[in-house]
Amino acid sequence: MNVREKKERQSGEPCMIWDATLESLAWKSRGWEQVCRYQDLEPADSSMEEENETRKINNSFLRDHNYATEADIISTVEFNSTGELLATGDKGGRVVVFQREQESKTQPHRRGEYNVYSTFQSHEPEFDYLKSLEIEEKINKIKWLPQQNAAYFLLSTNDKTVKLWKISERDKRPEGYNLKDEDGRFRDPSTITTLRVPVLQPMDLMVEATARRVFSNAHTYHINSISVNSDLQTFISTDDLRVNLWNLEITDRSFNIVDIKPANMEELTEVITSAEFHPQQCHTFAYTSSKGCIRLCDMRQAALCDKHCKYFEEPEDPSTRSFFSEIISSISDVKFSHNGRYLMTRDYLTVKVWDLQMENKPLETYQVHDYLRGKLCSLYENDCIFDKFECVWNGSDSVIMTGSYNNFFRMFDRNTKRDVTLEASRENSKPRAILKPRKVCVGGKRRKDEISVDSLDFSKKILHTTWHPHENIIAVAATNNLYIFQDKVN
Amino acid sequence: MEVSAEAKRIMVVALGKLYSSRTQRGGLRLHRSLLLTLVMKSARDIYHAAQTTTAEGMEEDREDQQPSEVEMTTETSGTPELQGPASLPLMATDADVQGRTQNQENTCLSGPPHHTRKRRGKATAEPDFLPCKKAKLEYGTAQQLIVTSVLVDYANCSSELGPSPSPIPLQTVIAAC
């Protein structure tokens, strides 16, 4: 038998043949298996005790015993553009970066595992004295810059401030200084009798993170998203009412390109909920609103892009109108497809794929958890109706994924129109265990293995997920746990 | 009527959430406050519409509210995770709402009849429901009735509150947010 078949038998998977002409996922013959799980990520490495500019772990008095678990709640996950690195941000303002283990011939099954690469404190809690407001350190979004040299760069943001972090490796250090000892103490100049040139000696690999830029004081309201432009020179940061354009090199100035603040705040009817640059066109970006509409803007038209060039909205279905129609139609996330022809939006109950050429209705609508439509009043009372779910494309734009409750997450295949519900849970989490599709029973007789709507755990929600840019590897954040799954085909 | 009872409940919950969001870490969230205000506004509109259409049936309405509220709780009793924790803070925030609206009323009574405009919330700008200054006296009593009935019901439910509060104009309640 050939090598491939032998590998599959060893891992316990059913033997299968990959059909190269099959363009879509066939759920019955493939399985998502768990690669690894991280919990309560602790800063383990000594890279924290480095240069003065590197931030140390915050042990301030603001973190008390009860905060300990809340600070570990993961608030954002993002693969970088090659998929080699995976960054997570948490409520405590920390960023943990994972790196994919290199392929090794001696241990082929270990490829695909991600290990902690760097941990640093990105944001600290702040206090705005003018407004008597505390500024949360929770990381709202992380966006990677494409790699241009040996170092990695990412943007991370909390409610008010965006920071550019440089993550670099150091595996050599200079030794043999003239004025300093090996341990750093200054030598008495009178004892120096010879002159030598310091030599670079190898040392244990150290990964250090330094804040290279801090973009602050540009947002009155809370930042909900950031997006790097395809020109790799600018980025936008978006709050409830404004979108600001920054140059990555300039921190003391930004341009306001969208401003929907009304002259009279009493007339406020909608806020901006997210914004993203087009993946290829550096002059185009889209922003979504709490009213469920998307506006596409062209920065070449005017300095202030208050006039959209495309407006996407689906007329409301009057039969589904309820008290909560406004809340559930608010868009929580927007993502352009990788090919730039579509965009995807997530509102409380659905995911919609829009064709950029068609403004009056979405191309596709997927029901994420329609069984919650009858529970909206309870979800309103326990605040779950305000949860902001994110959505993500796979690398080829053929599958979309989003989270739900009970640690469920859903994938929709756009070509076959098939969908699957999977669960990120500790009970099922043995490494290499294949995920079993889950099903929610909506009434009537509950079959074995199905879960009834009433037994769903609404405190376990998957809001943040990310998909590897090229491969079928996904990272799913379930409260304070990070799950990484991959779909083994070959 | 079930619809008006639900509308009332939604309004009170929205008020409670708006109040508690003031003490939330990170400051007032504009998006959340806007959504709550929109929900409260539509609930209020529906409640007001229901009240005016069934004005003559108000007596039966009050008697119905007790069984309809029981109905709502039994319907959702199958979801202990949702209902249990939700109802406890609901009661607590109502007590809060009562206390704070009373304080607000006390401070406002001494002031001029036109409350500070800059404190008015987003919902109060809608002209079709709220009266302009001229028509204030005319509509004032209708609004007082709405808020009173909403707050009195919950005052009766929670025994620690004592006598029911005097009618508070709706603008004051929203301005207090």
CB contact under 8 A, A290 and B35: yes
pLDDT given for residue B60 in this prediction = 55
- When pLDDT is cut at 50, 70 and 90, the band that residue B11 belongs to is very high
Q: What b/e readout covers A415-424, taking b as 16+ CB neighbours within 10 angstroms? A: eeeebbbbbb
- When pLDDT is cut at 50, 70 and 90, the band that residue A287 belongs to is very high
CB A226, CB A64: distance < 8 Å: no
Q: Read off φ and ψ for residue A354, nearest 5 degrees.
A: -110, 140
CB contact under 8 A, A323 and B25: no
CB contact under 8 A, B82 and A222: no
- When pLDDT is cut at 50, 70 and 90, the band that residue A110 belongs to is low
- When pLDDT is cut at 50, 70 and 90, the band that residue A86 belongs to is very high
Nearest residue of chain B to residue A379 (CA atoms): B82
Say which residue the tokens 């995807």 belong to.
A344
CB contact under 8 A, A134 and B26: yes
- When pLDDT is cut at 50, 70 and 90, the band that residue B47 belongs to is confident
Residues of B in contact with A264 (CB under 8 A): 125
A23 vs A415 pLDDT, higher one:
A415
A191 vs B137 pLDDT, higher one:
A191
Q: Closest partner residue to A386 among B32, B83, B87, by Cβ?
A: B32
In angstroms, what is the C-alpha Rg of chain A?
24
Q: Closest partner residue to B13 among A136, A222, A381, by Cβ?
A: A381
A194 vs A333 pLDDT, higher one:
A333
Q: Closest partner residue to B86 among A133, A330, A382, by Cβ?
A: A382
CB contact under 8 A, A327 and B35: yes
Tens of pLDDT, residue by residue over A216-226, are 999 999 999 99
pLDDT given for residue A31 in this prediction = 67
> How many A×B Cβ pairs under 8 Å?
90
Q: Is the ipTM of this complex over 0.90?
A: no
Give the least confident one: A37-41, B47-51, B136-140: B136-140
**Is residue A271 less than 8 Å (CB to CB) from chain B?**
yes
Q: How far apart are CA A354 and CA B95, in angstroms?
A: 46
Q: How far apart are CA A355 and CA A294, in angstroms?
A: 12
- When pLDDT is cut at 50, 70 and 90, the band that residue A436 belongs to is confident
Give the least confident one: A279-288, A295-304, B73-82, B141-150: B73-82
- Which of A66, A378, A384 has the most B C-beta neighbours within 10 Å, making it the best mutation to test the interface with B? A378
pLDDT given for residue B122 in this prediction = 55
Displacement of CA A287 from its chain's centroid (Å): 18
Please state, in angstroms and as integers, the Cα–Cα distance from residue A227 to each residue in A218, A243, A270, A398, B29, following that order: 16, 11, 21, 23, 21
Å from B24 to nearest chain A CA?
9
- When pLDDT is cut at 50, 70 and 90, the band that residue B171 belongs to is very low
Nearest residue of chain B to residue A272 (CA atoms): B31
CB contact under 8 A, A326 and B42: yes
Nearest residue of chain B to residue A221 (CA atoms): B30
Enumerate the β-bridge partners of residue A392: A401
pLDDT given for residue A434 in this prediction = 80
Assess whether pLDDT exceeds 70 at residue A311. Answer: yes
Assess whether pLDDT exceeds 80 at residue A413. Answer: yes
pLDDT given for residue B45 in this prediction = 87
Residues of A in contact with B83 (CB under 8 A): 378
Residues of B near A (Cβ–Cβ under 8 Å) read: 6-7, 10, 13, 17, 25-27, 29-32, 34-35, 38-39, 42-43, 46, 76, 78-79, 81-83, 85-87, 90, 120-122, 124-125
Torsion, Cα of B101, B106, B108, B112 (10° steps): 150
Helix (H) or strand (E) holding B19: helix B2-22
In angstroms, what is the C-alpha Rg of chain B?
16
**Is residue A131 less than 8 Å (CB to CB) from chain B?**
yes
Q: Closest partner residue to B122 among A268, A379, A383, by Cβ?
A: A268
Å from A265 to nearest chain B CA?
7
Q: Are strands A450-452 and A439-441 parallel, antiparallel or unpaired?
A: parallel
Helix (H) or strand (E) holding A70: helix A67-70
Mean pLDDT score, A346-366: 97
Q: How far apart are CA A349 and CA A337, in angstroms?
A: 20
Please state, in angstroms and as integers, the Cα–Cα distance from residue B78 to each residue in A375, A448, B89, following that order: 12, 19, 19
CA-based nearest residue to A433, from A442, A441, A422 = A422
Q: Are strands A94-100 and A114-121 parallel, antiparallel or unpaired?
A: antiparallel
pLDDT given for residue B68 in this prediction = 41
- When pLDDT is cut at 50, 70 and 90, the band that residue A322 belongs to is confident
**Is residue A64 less than 8 Å (CB to CB) from chain B?**
no
DSSP sequence for A169-219: EEEEEEE--SSB-TTSPBPPGGG-------EEEEEEEEEEEEEEEEE-S--
Query: A405: which DSSP letter?
Result: B
Determine if the pTM surpasses 0.80: no
CA-based nearest residue to B90, from A300, A282, A380 = A380
CB A300, CB A287: distance < 8 Å: no
Residues of B in contact with A458 (CB under 8 A): 81-82
pLDDT given for residue A45 in this prediction = 34
pLDDT given for residue B156 in this prediction = 41
Mean pLDDT score, A14-28: 33
pLDDT given for residue A313 in this prediction = 95
The two structure tokens encoding residue B146? 């709405």
Give the least confident one: A444-448, B46-50, B156-160: B156-160
Give the least confident one: A226-235, A250-259, A298-307, B18-27: B18-27
Assess whether pLDDT exceeds 80 at residue B170. Answer: no
Assess whether pLDDT exceeds 70 at residue B151. Answer: no
Say which residue the tokens 């609901």 belong to.
B90
With vertex at residue A343, the alpha carbon angle to CA A338 and CA A344, rounded to the nearest 5 degrees, is 110
Q: How far apart are CA B107 and CA B95, in angstroms?
A: 19
Q: How far apart are CA A112 and CA A384, in angstroms?
A: 34
Highest mean pLDDT among A353-357, A451-455, B170-174: A353-357
pLDDT given for residue B132 in this prediction = 42
Say which residue the tokens 């009373």 belong to.
B102
Å from B142 to nearest chain A CA?
22
Torsion, Cα of A256, A260, A264, A269 (10° steps): -160
Mean pLDDT score, B107-132: 43
Give the least confident one: A99-108, A165-174, A411-420, B57-66: B57-66
**Is residue A135 less than 8 Å (CB to CB) from chain B?**
yes
Give the least confident one: A117-131, A224-238, A317-331, A476-490: A476-490
Say which residue the tokens 């924790």 belong to.
B85
Q: How far apart are CA A482 and CA A74, in angstroms?
A: 8
Nearest residue of chain B to residue A291 (CA atoms): B35
- Residue A414: how many CA atoms within 13 Å on its side-chain side? 19
Helix (H) or strand (E) holding A246: strand A242-247
Q: Closest partner residue to B35 among A241, A267, A330, by Cβ?
A: A330
Q: Closest partner residue to B25 among A134, A267, A382, by Cβ?
A: A134
**Is residue A379 less than 8 Å (CB to CB) from chain B?**
yes
Q: Read off φ and ψ for residue A178, nearest 5 degrees.
A: -85, -40
CB contact under 8 A, A266 and B121: yes
Assess whether pLDDT exceeds 50 at residue B147. Answer: no
pLDDT given for residue A193 in this prediction = 87
- Which of A238, A331, A377 has the most B C-beta neighbours within 10 Å, making it the best mutation to test the interface with B? A377
pLDDT given for residue A109 in this prediction = 59
- When pLDDT is cut at 50, 70 and 90, the band that residue A112 belongs to is low
Residues of B in contact with A330 (CB under 8 A): 31, 35
Nearest residue of chain A to residue B25 (CA atoms): A134
CB contact under 8 A, B122 and A383: no
Task: Give the 3-state secondary structure of residue A155.
Answer: strand
CA-based nearest residue to A208, from A118, A121, A142 = A118
Mean pLDDT score, B163-168: 42
Q: How far apart are CA A336 and CA A312, in angstroms?
A: 14
Mean pLDDT score, A226-238: 97
- Residue B167: how many CA atoms within 13 Å on its side-chain side? 11
Can you give the length of chain A in residues? Answer: 490
Q: Closest partner residue to A290 among B34, B43, B122, by Cβ?
A: B34
Mean pLDDT score, A70-84: 94
Torsion, Cα of B162, B168, B171, B172 (10° steps): -60
pLDDT given for residue B107 in this prediction = 39
Å from A262 to nearest chain B CA?
11
Helix (H) or strand (E) holding B37: helix B30-53
- When pLDDT is cut at 50, 70 and 90, the band that residue A101 belongs to is confident
Highest mean pLDDT among A52-56, A297-301, B85-89: A297-301
DSSP sequence for A77-125: EEE-TTSSEEEEEETTSEEEEEEEPPP-SS-GGGTT-EEEEEEEE----
Query: A369: which DSSP letter?
Result: -
Compute the mean pLDDT over every residue in chain A, rounded to the nearest whole number: 85
Residues of B in contact with A222 (CB under 8 A): 26-27, 29-30
CB A213, CB A164: distance < 8 Å: yes
